[in-house]
Amino acid sequence: MPLRFDQRVAIVTGAGGGLGRAYALELARRGARVIVNDVGASRDGTGASDAAEQVVAEIAALGGEAIASGASVTDAAAMDAMAAEAIDRFGRIDILINNAGVLRDRSFARMTAEDFAFVLDVHLTGSANATRAVWGTMRAQGHGRILMTASSSGLYGNFGQANYAAAKLGIVGLARTLHLEGAKYGIRVNTIAPTAGTRMTQDIFPEQAFAAFTPDSVAPAAVYLVSDDAPSGAIVGAGAGVFQAAYITLTPGVRLTGDDLSAEGVAAHWAAITDRRGEIVPGSGAEQAMSILQQLQ
């Protein structure tokens, strides 16, 4: 059966181009009513344009229904106002895709405090602002689907992206916690780590790779992860039609006692400590403490 979103209402931030635009258009094709949010800035967060209005026009041409929002995700009050407008217009909010982002890449030695803080503000605090704006509505409905956007840079690191990587891994922690807190209210929270050829990456990818890594080849994962039958707590990599699952694992570890309970003991047992045989994927942070208690018993 095709995935449909009839009567569902979706907010997509950063939807004026690239991935966000692809998500918004695909949701609209499948029946969703969409709030297209974008300030229309360049990839470093400066300037403005009517990008959101252009995507709304594209959705209208498809026979869909959408409204534009030029609110900045860094402005919590503006996010609240955007959510209120969605409720006034459509009566509910079912889906939020936190996609808005900027890049200010530099090696850490050359990165200013302003550039570090601004990227965290847009990606991490912006995701929290938008989510907080819809959280109460989703709880009251007993239904909600939220998709966060992380990155391989956050999961694994990337040269010249200390600010971006810090924000993106912070988003993973936010998503994992909201997955736990939202479960009893019917709110499912997932994370996508996309690789796509967009204006954010146009001078990073070789030309041939840029053409292969289209936003449309990522959109299927995003659409599934906000569907009624979506999982929750997943971290999904997506790019060029390849879809992967990422996990944060924990090795069984080694209990050190006596003289071994020292820096020298850690060094001596390092191979056993890092041995991945029998590693687990904790469902929450508490499971690390539980695994330690099991060894103490």
Catalytic positions: 164
**Residue with tokens 């959510």, as numbered in its chain:** 83
How far is the C-alpha of 119 from the C-alpha of 204, rounded, in Å? 18
Q: Note whether 152 and 206 are within 8 A (CB).
A: no
Six-digit token string for 259: 């003289």
Query: Residue 68: beta bridge partners?
Result: 36
Cα–Cα distance measured from residue 288 to residue 164, given in angstroms and rounded to the nearest whole number: 27
Tokens 């209990």 -> residue = 255
Q: Give the Cα separation of 15 and 280 in Å (integer).
A: 36
Is beta strand 144-149 parallel, antiparallel or unpaired with respect to 187-194? parallel
Contact status, residue 37 vs residue 15, Cβ threshold 8 Å: yes
Residue 79 host element (H or E)? helix 76-90
Q: Helix-strand-coil percent breakdown of the chain, rounded to 5?
A: 45, 15, 40
| Cα–Cα separations (whole angstroms), residue 186 to 16, 32, 139, 209, 230 | 29, 19, 7, 39, 11
User: How many helices (DSSP H) and strands (DSSP E) are in the chain?
Assistant: 12, 8
The answer to whether the beta carbons of residues 236 and 191 sit under 8 Å apart is yes
Angle at which helix 113-120 crosses helix 162-182, to 10 degrees, equals: 30
